[in-house]
């Protein structure tokens, strides 16, 4: 067979096995796997390297306005470049609807932002904050038909929170049309109550952000979100789980056969609330929601990563610079609720997971492949990505498992002026990143043209038809009532 590129002599890793061999690429797709493949217009020597599917970043805020109108620092060029240097070949940022906007208009805006700029393939998760009848009945089905088969809703923030009834409406539409609902689960009233009392006491420094959003607020909301999804038989993806209690709820629901999915993030595994207590306003760099917790929580979250509770470890890249354009848009020393919420991490996600997961013996190499790529492709319907198999897109990354680097802001290749992972020494780095067979990062250099990334239309999400129904929704147990979500 004739190949455009042959990657030879590497340790090829999948979610189930590893083997030493070659990968042949033709016309942007994997054409053959073998012990030894000859030919290739270009041959890449992968001896001593680990060869894995390109990372799929399933949670990132790129060129996105917050509910208060603040734009993230990264656009689709800098954000995608940073993702690529971190070993990612696809990402699914959010396309945010704000009150009064139509979904059609939102998608036109994000198409204009993404298509001319992204160097990697992309799709969108919609954010829904205004589920009008037109949105639910007409606009969301049009988005689903286009291959945008996931969206996010919030149980906190006054400008985003839908309430339980709104959540049920959204979950029902998702179930009917083959979409997956993602949820930011924190109890809004608990947080507002805590904020008011902290403010009354004059406790407004960055460290009190961690106090204002108790672990209980997350656990209560996750329990409620799972219950709402269970009522209508819908799938649910719980984003950025940060507590043992929340992770336990997800694990229990999955053990019961419910279509519940979840992720955690590197910041919850690597950082603690003590980082919010750095001198002056330095703690503002570490404000994200849910907040950073403690070392005991980190240990439990790692256990859930290892046991399979989480199907991905995502960055929740939310880049706001440490200046008046970002963290301090509302003044140089604002109270913690006025500090822009989020931190960058799209380039550090996979090096951290490789070093502290595989390198530290917390997870296997096979689990790394699943958590970084394969699971996201499966859950989010990217049917030609996330696997090293003939016919799949040749999205491939070579990792040097022995290379050790110290993380710096400059190495993130984003539009930020800091990284929360500054100074960490990590072993294991990507050396070659191929997107659809094209080498886009090599030897520390970007080789991709702006705008080469393509939109990925994703397949519908379908929950397991055998997932258990509550008795009140099962005609066999509710006197024959056909209650259709």
* Residue 402 structure tokens: 């022995």
CA neighbor of 89 nearest in space, from 443, 439, 461, 451: 439
Q: Which pTM value belongs to this model?
A: 0.97
DSSP assignment letter at 372: I
The pLDDT value given to residue 33: 97
Tell me how far apart the alpha carbons of residues 125 and 61 are, in angstroms, rounded to a whole number: 10
The dihedrals phi and psi of 320, each to the nearest 5 degrees, come to: -125, 120
Tell me how far apart the alpha carbons of residues 484 and 4 are, in angstroms, rounded to a whole number: 52
Tell me how far apart the alpha carbons of residues 198 and 265 are, in angstroms, rounded to a whole number: 27
* Residue 111 structure tokens: 């198409």
Residue 26 pairs in a beta bridge with 29
Structural domains present in the chain:
5-52+389-446 (2.30.40.10), 54-373 (3.20.20.140)
Using alpha carbons, list the distances in angstroms from residue 230 to 227, 234, 235, 253: 5, 6, 8, 9
Secondary structure class of 302 (helix, strand, coil)? helix
* Residue 203 structure tokens: 């406790």
Q: Angle at CA 442, nearest 5°, toward 441 and 446?
A: 40
- Among all chains, which residue has been given the structure tokens 């991490």? 345
Tell me how far apart the alpha carbons of residues 282 and 295 are, in angstroms, rounded to a whole number: 20
- Torsion-angle region of 352 (φ positive above 0: left; ψ -120 to 50: alpha; else: beta): alpha
Element (H, E) at 446: strand 445-446
Tell me how far apart the alpha carbons of residues 100 and 151 are, in angstroms, rounded to a whole number: 17
The pLDDT value given to residue 466: 72
pLDDT in tens, the chain (485 residues): 799 999 999 999 999 999 999 999 999 999 999 999 999 999 999 999 999 999 999 999 999 999 889 999 999 999 999 999 999 999 999 999 999 999 999 999 999 999 999 999 999 999 999 999 999 999 999 999 999 999 999 999 999 999 999 999 999 999 999 999 999 999 999 999 999 999 999 999 999 999 999 999 999 999 999 999 999 999 999 999 999 999 999 999 999 999 999 999 999 999 999 999 999 999 999 999 999 999 999 999 999 999 999 999 999 999 999 999 999 999 999 999 999 999 999 999 999 999 999 999 999 999 999 999 999 999 999 999 999 999 999 999 999 999 999 999 999 999 999 999 999 999 999 999 999 999 999 999 999 999 999 999 999 998 777 778 788 888 888 888 877 76
User: Longest Cα pair distance anywhere in the chain, in angstroms?
Assistant: 73
CA neighbor of 440 nearest in space, from 43, 54, 23: 54
The pLDDT value given to residue 485: 65
């Amino acid at each position: 067979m004739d190949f455009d590129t042959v990657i030879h002599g590497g340790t090829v890793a999948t979610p189930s096995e590893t083997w030493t061999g070659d990968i042949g690429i033709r016309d942007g797709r994997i054409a053959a796997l073998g012990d030894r493949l000859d030919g290739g217009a270009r041959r890449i020597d992968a001896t001593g390297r680990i060869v894995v599917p390109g990372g799929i970043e399933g949670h990132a805020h790129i060129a996105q306005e917050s509910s208060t109108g603040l734009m993230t620092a990264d656009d689709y060029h800098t954000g995608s470049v940073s993702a690529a240097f971190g070993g990612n070949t696809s990402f699914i940022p959010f396309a945010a609807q704000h009150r009064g906007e139509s979904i059609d208009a939102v998608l036109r805006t994000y198409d204009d932002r993404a298509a001319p700029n992204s160097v990697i393939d992309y799709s969108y998760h919609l954010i829904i904050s205004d589920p009008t009848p037109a949105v639910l009945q007409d606009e969301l089905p049009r988005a689903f038909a286009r291959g945008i088969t996931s969206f996010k809703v919030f149980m906190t923030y006054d400008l985003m929170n839908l309430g339980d009834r709104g959540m049920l409406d959204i979950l029902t539409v998702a179930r009917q049309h083959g979409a997956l609902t993602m949820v930011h689960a924190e109890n809004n009233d608990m947080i507002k109550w805590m904020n008011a009392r902290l403010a009354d006491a004059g406790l407004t420094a960055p460290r009190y952000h961690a106090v204002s959003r108790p672990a209980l607020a997350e656990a209560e909301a996750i329990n409620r979100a799972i219950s709402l999804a269970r009522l209508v038989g819908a799938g649910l993806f719980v984003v950025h789980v940060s507590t043992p209690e929340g992770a336990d709820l997800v694990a229990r629901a999955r053990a019961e056969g419910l279509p519940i999915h979840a992720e955690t993030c590197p910041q919850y595994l690597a950082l603690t609330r003590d980082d919010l207590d750095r001198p002056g306003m330095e703690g503002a760099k570490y404000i994200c929601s849910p907040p950073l917790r403690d070392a005991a929580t980190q240990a439990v979250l790692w256990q859930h990563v290892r046991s399979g509770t989480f199907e991905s470890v995502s960055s929740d890249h939310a880049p706001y610079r440490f200046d008046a354009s970002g963290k301090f848009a509302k003044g140089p020393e604002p109270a913690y609720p006025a500090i822009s919420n989020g931190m960058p991490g799209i380039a550090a996600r996979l090096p951290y997971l490789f070093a502290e997961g595989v390198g530290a013996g917390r997870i296997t190499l096979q689990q790394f492949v699943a958590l970084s790529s394969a699971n996201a492709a499966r859950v989010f319907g990217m049917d030609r990505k996330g696997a090293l198999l003939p016919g799949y897109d040749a999205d491939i990354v070579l990792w040097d498992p022995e290379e050790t680097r110290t993380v710096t802001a400059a190495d993130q290749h984003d539009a930020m002026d800091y990284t929360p992972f500054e100074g960490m020494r990590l072993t294991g780095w990507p050396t070659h990143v191929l997107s659809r067979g094209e080498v886009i990062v090599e030897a520390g250099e970007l080789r991709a043209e702006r705008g080469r990334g393509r939109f990925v239309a994703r397949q519908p999400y379908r929950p397991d038809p055998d997932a258990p129904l509550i008795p009140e929704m099962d005609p066999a147990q509710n006197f024959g009532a056909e209650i259709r979500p």
